[in-house]
Amino acid sequence: MTLPSSFRDKTPRHELPFLFAGQAQREFFVNESLARLDLLIQPSVVGEIGNPPEEPEDGQCFLIAETAGGIWTGLDGNIAGWIAGEWVYAVSSEGMQLHDLSTATMLTYKGGWQRSTPIAEPSGGNTIDAEARSAIAALIATMTQHGVF
């Protein structure tokens, strides 16, 4: 077991604050961690925007665009969630995935957020196999429906 004295003040991956013995206002640190976990567990965003909306709904999350301004300046590529009347941020890290509700697609963080590109249905060729094309079209449709493309 790791000794408590060896912990830093936050977790290394998602910067969740740790509690320490004798710490004042522990509920603040626990609530901050829970708010960030709410953003990170099965993350989905309303969309990607550069400035915070004027009247966000509680629980709404956004991917902060590269052109971020206002209070989001310098937070490009992070996730912002409106929780209990204030913005809570989650830092993006390698391998992280999230669902963009506005485009119904999955994004993966690989040095920046990457979107899957759609695959075109087969066309042309010397030999046309209608059954194979139908099967491929059905696979593409299913993968698109599930946010892969």
pLDDT digits (tens, 9 = 90+) for 42-62: 889 999 999 999 999 988 999
**121 belongs to a structural domain:** no
For residue 12, give its domain range: 8-115
**Which pTM value belongs to this model?**
0.68
The encoded tokens of residue 66 equal: 């590269």
- Can you give the pLDDT at residue 68? 93
**68 belongs to a structural domain:** yes
Q: What whole-number distance in Å separates Cα of residue 126 and Cα of residue 134?
A: 17
Residue that wins the pLDDT comparison between 12 and 136: 136
- Can you give the pLDDT at residue 87? 93
**126 belongs to a structural domain:** no
- Can you give the pLDDT at residue 98? 92
The conformation of residue 146, written as its DSSP 8-state character, comes to: T
Instruction: Look at residues 102, 106, 104, 74 and name the one whose alpha carbon lies nearest to residue 89.
Output: 74
**120 belongs to a structural domain:** no
CB half-sphere exposure, 119, CA atoms < 13 A:
15
**22 belongs to a structural domain:** yes
**131 belongs to a structural domain:** no
pLDDT tens, position by position, 63-77: 999 989 999 999 999
Number of folded domains in the chain?
1
